[in-house]
Amino acid sequence: MRVLVCLKQILDPDVPARDFEIDPAAKAAKRGGANLVTNIFCENAVETALQFREAAGDVKVTALCYGESSAEDCLRKAMAMTVDEACLVEREGNTNPDAAAVGQVLAAAISRLEQDGGPFDAVLVGRESGDWGTGQTGGVLAEELGRPALGFVESLRPGNGGITLRRQTDDGIEVAEAEPPFVVTITNNEDNVPRIPKTRDVMMSYRKPLRKMSPAELGLDGDEIRNGFSSFEVEEIFVPTDEVDCELAEGDTLDERVDQLAHKIHEVVASIG
Amino acid sequence: MANVAVCVLGSFGYDRAAQGAVGAGRALAGSVGGEVHVLVIGPADEEAVAAMAAVADRVVLGANEELRDVQPEQALQAAEQLHAAGGGDYVAVLLSNDTYSQEIAPRLAHRLGGSSMADAAAIRMDGDHLLAQRTAYGGKAISIYRLKKSPAVVWLRARGFEPAPEQPSSGDVTSVDLNLDPPRIRIVGREVAAQEGVRLEDAPVIVSGGRGLGGPEPFHELGKLADTIGAEQGASRAACDAGWVPPNWQVGQTGKKVAPELYIAIAISGASQHLLGMGDSKVVAAINTDADAPIFKHCSFGIVEDYKAVVPLLTEKLAALSG
Ligand SMILES: Cc1cc2nc3c(=O)[nH]c(=O)nc-3n(C[C@H](O)[C@H](O)[C@H](O)COP(=O)(O)OP(=O)(O)OC[C@H]3O[C@@H](n4cnc5c(N)ncnc54)[C@H](O)[C@@H]3O)c2cc1C
Ligand SMILES: Nc1ncnc2c1ncn2[C@@H]1O[C@H](COP(=O)(O)O)[C@@H](O)[C@H]1O
């Protein structure tokens, strides 16, 4: 079986709010001193795919990214986590294409990889990205590929002639039987926290195959894809100023301070009735 | 014509989220002089249908029995067919923020040749385009998107919108027999997490715990505090990822979006992604050992102290105050 994981490189979402700035001309975050990292849900997806491989045996896991050349780091890291092979579709410029454009590129790349290496039983994407986080790519990709999809999946296991999926809903867990090929979006749980690569695997990752292609090679309209915003664009972006003054409990003893806190909490709770 | 469609899941009934979604639809339709059509995916009880008819110009029911327990693939097909049955000339198709609505929105947009957007906190028309406001960069920024293709298919932070007002006369109710393919991904089992009390989204008071608690046991201590003041319990992603509490306790960007009267954050640093889920709380209180933790910039009152020293004493004092 073959499983594909889509990875996106993003500006580190752990940048503290005080260091975060918007570039008004680009209508996007300033890079500043921030690192570029793999979106966390994509790493959860890699981990989920690797665990599926461990449970099912004979599974090849491929990582795919549409990004700038720096995104090669994300793919190398995935291979260090022991993903078998990787592919980078090189993005020109640093525009921020919308999900409609990204979905087209990823679908075209997937078709090309399938022509060459056979079909992917499962395509995994993150539930949303830590930068723009619109969480639309998985759905768009499913439609571009004409495959069924399920969101918020936390694990894949070999099942009754197909693949068994567990996914999170608002009030619990749903178990689904899926007939490949399909697309899922991956969410986090305690079991798919991404593994830390072993030193040896980090070294091995540089020997694994990393294929590169361009949107033009995939027969895509360069301009539309480059400029991205075919479906939506950012009209405006700003940093909200919503900091408030916090009244800290004061007093000489812990008892006094906790007493103040208790009275404040009680006041609010009592007002609800 | 510039009508607005609102997709509602029949099995959810006309709940607070559906009320907010239809309310958003009414405001949008009002701004362009159009009608509001509610498209009901799956069987709904009579009372809910009547309540929807009272606020809509038209209700289109797709009450196929196989949709009683939602199958996502079929819900998507249903939404597409109901869209056509309702007339199809919609400038916007609005959905709520439950799991099923979230996952079908981008796919429905693709099928209808429209644009999709997620988690909108505000929407308005600007000429032919819909503008949707939402957060970006994990809550550090607010962005307004222009959706360039029609219809704009948007799932909303539905509880944040005012419910729709009743109309002078009830809208027409029509039923459509949907033609649904068997799903290639089929939900075969549901494990509803034991949940006492109300849903986190509707809870008036929430006591939330984070990584600083250091393990699962302290959540029992927080549970006693919660019981004393009639609160529900939540958590940060760090606590959920550690397996200390179930995933559906998670509050934040990718967890529950809550809006209680009081939110008590205990040993939670206040990362922007967490604030995004609790930002609509009326009053926030924090207990944290670190006076520089970002949470203290987003709360009305708090205490810089070890939770271990504070929580049992606080519970005792609150029990006395309310007793
Ligand atoms: C795309 C994306 C989505 C995300 N979605 C979410 C989400 O939905 N929800 C969410 O919560 N996070 C989310 N996160 C993660 C988020 O960035 C933070 O990592 C997370 O919220 C941190 O959790 P925490 O505050 O419990 O832990 P920490 O940041 O580690 O904070 C622990 C706090 O406990 C305090 N503390 C330690 N010991 C004690 C003590 N004895 N008494 C009192 N205080 C103590 C410390 O001072 C510290 O402030 C997301 C991240 C990304 C990238
Ligand atoms: N440029 C990209 N390359 C590869 N995968 C992507 C890209 N953009 C988005 N994705 C996938 O789609 C998921 C959701 O992203 P988004 O729709 O941008 O919130 C990510 O976690 C990735 O798995």
User: Is A246 within 8 Å of B302 when comparing Cβ atoms?
Assistant: yes
The pLDDT-based confidence of B307 (bands split at 50, 70, 90) is: very high
Position A151, amino acid = G
Q: Which DSSP string do the residues of A173-229 spell out, in sequence order?
A: EEEEEEPSSEEEEE---TT-PPPPPPHHHHHHHTTS-EEEE-TTTTT--HHHHHH--
> How far does CA B195 lie from the centroid of its chain?
17
The answer to whether residue B222 scores a pLDDT higher than 90 is yes
Instruction: Provide the sign of the torsion angle of the four alpha carbons B217, B219, B225, B230, taken in this order.
Output: negative
- Tell if the CB–CB gap between B241 and A188 is shorter than 8 Å: yes
pLDDT in tens, B65-77: 999 999 999 999 9
Going by C-alpha positions, the residue among B280, B285, B317 that lies closest to residue B300 is B285
**Can you tell me the ipTM of this complex?**
0.94
Instruction: Answer whether A254's CB lies under 8 Å from A127's CB.
Output: no
How confident is the model at residue B199, as a pLDDT?
Answer: 85
Give the pLDDT score at B157. Answer: 92
Which band of pLDDT confidence, cut at 50, 70 and 90, is reported for residue A161? confident
Among the partner residues A99, A134, A262, nearest to B314 by beta-carbon distance: A262
Residue numbers in B near A165 (CB within 8 A): 185
- Are β-strands A232-238 and B141-147 bridged in parallel, bridged antiparallel, or unpaired? antiparallel
Q: Is B283 on the interface with A (CB under 8 A)?
A: yes
Per-residue pLDDT band for A208 (boundaries 50, 70, 90) equals very high
Residue A124: per-residue pLDDT:
98
Judge whether A99 and A137 are in contact, CB under 8 Å: yes
pLDDT at B196 over 90: no
The answer to whether the CB of B36 falls within 8 A of the CB of B26 is yes
**Helix, strand or coil, per DSSP, at residue B37:** strand
Q: How many CB atoms lie within 10 A of CB B298?
A: 24
Cα dihedral B63, B66, B70, B73 sign: negative
The mean per-residue pLDDT over the stretch A40-53 comes to 98
The mean pLDDT of B97-121, rounded to a whole number, is 96
DSSP, residue by residue, A40-69: HHHHHHHHHHHHHHHHHSS-EEEEEEEE-G
- Taking only the tens place, the pLDDT of each residue in A216-245 is 899 887 666 655 667 888 999 999 887 788
At A18 the pLDDT is 87
User: Which residues 12-31 of A are in CB contact (within 8 Å) with B?
Assistant: 13-17, 20, 22, 29
Predicted local distance difference test score (pLDDT) of residue A22: 95
Chain A residues 191-210 within an 8 A CB cutoff of chain B: 191, 193
What tokens appear for B38 in the block?
């509610």
- pLDDT > 70 fraction of chain B, expressed in percent and rounded: 98
- What is the pLDDT, as a whole number, of residue A133? 85
Contact A107/A123 with Cβ under 8 angstroms?
no
Mean pLDDT calculated for residue range B260-264: 97
Give the HSE-up count for residue B4: Cα atoms under 13 Å, Cβ half-sphere: 28
Residue A169: closest CA among chain B residues belongs to which residue?
B99
Given an 8 Å threshold on Cβ–Cβ distance, is B264 in contact with A173?
Answer: no
> What pLDDT is stored for residue A137 in this prediction?
96
Q: Produce one character per residue of A243-261: b if its CB has 16 or more CB atoms within 10 Å, e if not.
A: eeebebbeeeeeeebbbbb
Residue B297 CA to chain centroid, in angstroms? 25
Give the mean pLDDT of A18-26: 92
Give the pairing type, strands B122-126 and A122-126. unpaired
What percent of chain A lies above the pLDDT cut of 90?
82
Using CA atoms, how far apart are residues A164 and A184, in angstroms rounded to an integer?
A: 12
The verdict on A128 touching B (C-beta cutoff 8 Å) is yes
Counting residues of chain B whose pLDDT is more than 90, the rounded percentage is 94
Element (H, E) at A167: strand A163-169
User: Residue A138 CA: which ligand 2 atom is closest?
Assistant: 12
CA separation (Å) from B51 to A6, B9, B148, B163, B167? 43, 14, 33, 12, 11
Considering the entire predicted model, what is its pTM?
A: 0.93
* B positions 136-175 inside 8 Å of A (CB): 136-138, 140-149
Rounded to a whole number of angstroms, the distance between the first and last alpha carbons of chain B is 60
> pLDDT: is A16 or B192 the higher one?
A16
Cis amide bond preceding B43, omega within 30: no
Is a pLDDT exceeding 80 seen at residue A93?
A: no
CB B263 near ligand 1, within 6 Å: no
Rounded average pLDDT over B167-185: 96
Cis amide linkage into residue B151, ω under 30° from 0: yes
Beta bridge partner(s), residue B117: B154
Q: Are B67 and B42 in contact (CB under 8 A)?
A: yes
Closest CA to A94 of A165, A152, A10: A10
Three-state secondary-structure class, residue B70: coil
pLDDT at B178 > cutoff 80: yes
The three-point CA angle A104-B113-A115 to 5° equals: 30
